[in-house]
Amino acid sequence: MNASSMNAGSMKAGDAVSWIRHAAELVAADADRLTRLDAAIGDGDHGLNLDRGFRAATEALSGEASPGDVPPGKVLIAAGRAIVSKTGGASGPLYGTALRRAGKALGDTADVDAAALGAALRAALEGVQDLGKAAEGDKTMIDALAPAVAAYEAALADGADLPGCVSVAAGAAAEGADATVPMQARKGRASYLGARSIGHMDPGASSTALILRALSDVVAADAASGEG
């Protein structure tokens, strides 16, 4: 992971690129585990599909690595489009929609502050909910994304800076993913298993937690570097 120009107050184009690249690294490193999780309650291809999608996203962003080249919103839209085009199953539309909705919420703003990023994460959540028709408790990626957004917004309201907001969001996403283990799936292929889906972590919630951890890692590294 390369440190970029994010400071405690804003995200720039290079920071958004760093986020997608680091998310791709984490997904690639964890692809086998994600696929095993999916094999237990789904099609058994979540890790492989998402790895392919994020690799495509990093390739799409290969010419946009310099801060200031492209607004963060356009970076996320480009990444989302690549993920939709290269990721199989339901994952592509869901993760692609999340990134594109976030990107559209950011618009052409060159410097994205904590409030704007929070609004973008809220837009991502709403996009996934609109597409997947899932709610918290259904044992889906919403069970990681919704608590993450809520935690981010609460931290922002309490006066936390960008690193603080993202850190609590990542923590809430990880806790949300863990909380899917005792749930019975009510959406997606896992719902066909009924009670047999209990006792397994939802792979989408787990990968969502990874993606938010990637954002937190990038923000923390930049804040520690004192750059920007």
CB neighbours of 178 closer than 8 A, spacing ≥ 6?
201
What mean pLDDT is predicted for residues 123-149?
A: 96
When pLDDT is cut at 50, 70 and 90, the band that residue 1 belongs to is: very low
For residue 7, tell me if it sits in a domain.
Answer: no
Domain holding 188, by residue range, is 13-225
For residue 3, tell me if it sits in a domain.
Answer: no
- What are the two backbone dihedrals, phi and then psi, of residue 104, each rounded to the nearest 5 degrees? -65, -35
For residue 127, tell me if it sits in a domain.
Answer: yes
For residue 53, tell me if it sits in a domain.
Answer: yes
**Res 65: pLDDT:** 47
- Quote the CA–CA distance of 131 and 145 in Å, as a whole number: 14
**Res 9: pLDDT:** 63
For residue 8, tell me if it sits in a domain.
Answer: no
- Quote the CA–CA distance of 106 and 89 in Å, as a whole number: 27
**Beta carbons of 217 and 1 less than 8 angstroms apart:** yes
**Res 119: pLDDT:** 98
What mean pLDDT, rounded, does the chain reach? Answer: 90
**Beta carbons of 208 and 173 less than 8 angstroms apart:** yes
**Beta carbons of 176 and 197 less than 8 angstroms apart:** no
Q: Whole-model pTM?
A: 0.91
Residue 75 sits in a domain of what CATH number?
Answer: 1.25.40.340
**Beta carbons of 102 and 124 less than 8 angstroms apart:** yes
**Res 213: pLDDT:** 98
Sequential DSSP letters for 86-151:
H--TTHHHHHHHHHHHHHHHHTT-SSB-HHHHHHHHHHHHHHHHHHH---TTSSSTHHHHHHHHHH
Please state the domain count of the chain: 1
Quick: pLDDT tens for 140-149: 999 999 999 9
For residue 200, tell me if it sits in a domain.
Answer: yes
For residue 5, tell me if it sits in a domain.
Answer: no
Quick: pLDDT tens for 163-220: 999 999 999 999 999 999 999 999 888 888 889 899 999 999 999 999 999 999 998 8
For residue 199, tell me if it sits in a domain.
Answer: yes
